[in-house]
A and B are shown apart, each in its own frame.
Chain A
């Protein structure tokens, strides 16, 4: 049954007895046409679009824990399409357009909030770089606006504008950027996929692949062997582990990134802001907590927790930009393990093994990509050709020298 305002009122008047579980809890079948490994945002979106856009049947999503328990439930919920490079910007702008219609599409309130994102400028060369980036965005059909200090002061009067080392000199705004309720994205896609007949199988860890004559026939799982015509890995931070079962080495290392939230405060922060001098970004959740983060911890890690030096560094950057932050108490902090690729950009591609596909390398920016990643991966699985917006996200770009290195950091995953 659909969700609507009318339904909420009706249920409220009848004791909330009509709500049903949002999705089934099926037993795994012995074989499927498509198996998607990983029930995060990307895996669930892929399953949904595969069924919806490409009319495919017999699809399963295998999740080792519970749906949405990975990075889709651990990120800082920012969406934006403010990239510079040709391989990236059309893809992220496509994703932004999918976000804009997502809630109607899924009949689910994902709290898509286009409250705007503002990247602050602190030096003249940075203004040049951001102007160029803004132009690249506009050329790709996204919106971008260069703001003066006076304009920023109207929206964010509390920022430290005259800091001796890092004065604020302007900003690059994308008004269509913003935040989305991360869990609701996983739940919305899960419910919509389930309604199209996709089996969402939780507590089912993939522990190996059955590969015969260079072709993948199915997966070994904690709930037994399951056959498949096509197997699609979509496990974000666990990518190197899962793909190693097929003997595949990846241009990816896994590192940890932390996020923080303060106690609930009255509204102060209208949109998302990023500090241009240190690595710090911040927004305010609808419950009032300031949600912020900074650099990843910077070393390989599968522990879903970070270390204290990073906490200190992030808080110092935060205080440099927003002195008032020092009055707020930090309520929670957590970490997520991220699939950091060698150039900071993702991969959506076939592998050298027949019937085995790969989606990963999202670094700390894959949440905003969720709808487009699902759509492009579904396209690849259904048609065996890359989607036009993901055509650059191939494995061979590294060997061929066509890296998409937005930050110009070179092959050091922890620096992207």
Chain B
């Protein structure tokens, strides 16, 4: 797989490590009433039913930035790559 890094261009997936679903960006509020439920959902439950998947990849052997990669899990085709920091900021996170 080739990941088209927004800053560095096409890079071999071997340079990256994989973390998991991009939903991990949406960390729940620890002060919420139902924080326990929210955190156990966030940590453990997934909707990995195949097809388009948004996921976090880390450019470990490169510029060490986090990316959100949109990839089809049936074909391994990558259709979109964004900086995770941009995605997080767009979702109202400060960093």
B47 touches A244 (CB 8 A): yes
Whether A194 sits at the interface, judged by CB under 8 Å, is no
* Known contacts A300-B73, A303-B74, A411-B43; is-contact A240 B48 (Cβ 8 Å): yes
A254 touches B50 (CB 8 A): yes
Whether B90 sits at the interface, judged by CB under 8 Å, is no
Whether A183 sits at the interface, judged by CB under 8 Å, is no
Q: How far is the CB of A182 from chain B (nearest CB, A)?
A: 25
Number of residues of chain B lying within 8 A (CB) of chain A: 27
Give every chain B residue within 8 A of A414 (Cβ-Cβ).
18, 20
In the complex the two chains form, what is the Cα distance from A241 to B40 in whole Å?
21
* Known contacts A251-B44, A309-B13, A412-B19; is-contact A241 B49 (Cβ 8 Å): yes
B47 touches A299 (CB 8 A): no
A303 touches B47 (CB 8 A): no
Interchain CB contact (< 8 A) of B1 among A307, A412, A413: A307
Give every chain B residue within 8 A of A253 (Cβ-Cβ).
20-21, 46, 48
Whether A28 sits at the interface, judged by CB under 8 Å, is no
Q: Tell me if B's interface is mostly helix, strand, loop or mixed.
A: mixed
Within 8 A of A (CB), among B1-47: 1, 12-14, 17-21, 36-37, 40, 43-47
Interchain CB contact (< 8 A) of A302 among B12, B45, B50: B50
Residues of A within 8 A of B (CB): 240-241, 244, 249-254, 298-303, 307, 309, 342, 398-399, 411-414
Whether B94 sits at the interface, judged by CB under 8 Å, is no
A303 touches B46 (CB 8 A): no
Give every chain A residue within 8 A of B18 (Cβ-Cβ).
298-299, 414
Interchain CB contact (< 8 A) of B55 among A241, A299, A307, A309: A299
Q: How far is the CB of B84 from chain A (nearest CB, A)?
A: 16
* Known contacts A240-B48, A412-B19; is-contact A254 B12 (Cβ 8 Å): no
A250 touches B73 (CB 8 A): no
Closest to A302 in B: B50
B48 touches A411 (CB 8 A): no
A301 touches B20 (CB 8 A): no
Interchain CB contact (< 8 A) of A249 among B1, B13, B47: B47
A399 touches B73 (CB 8 A): no
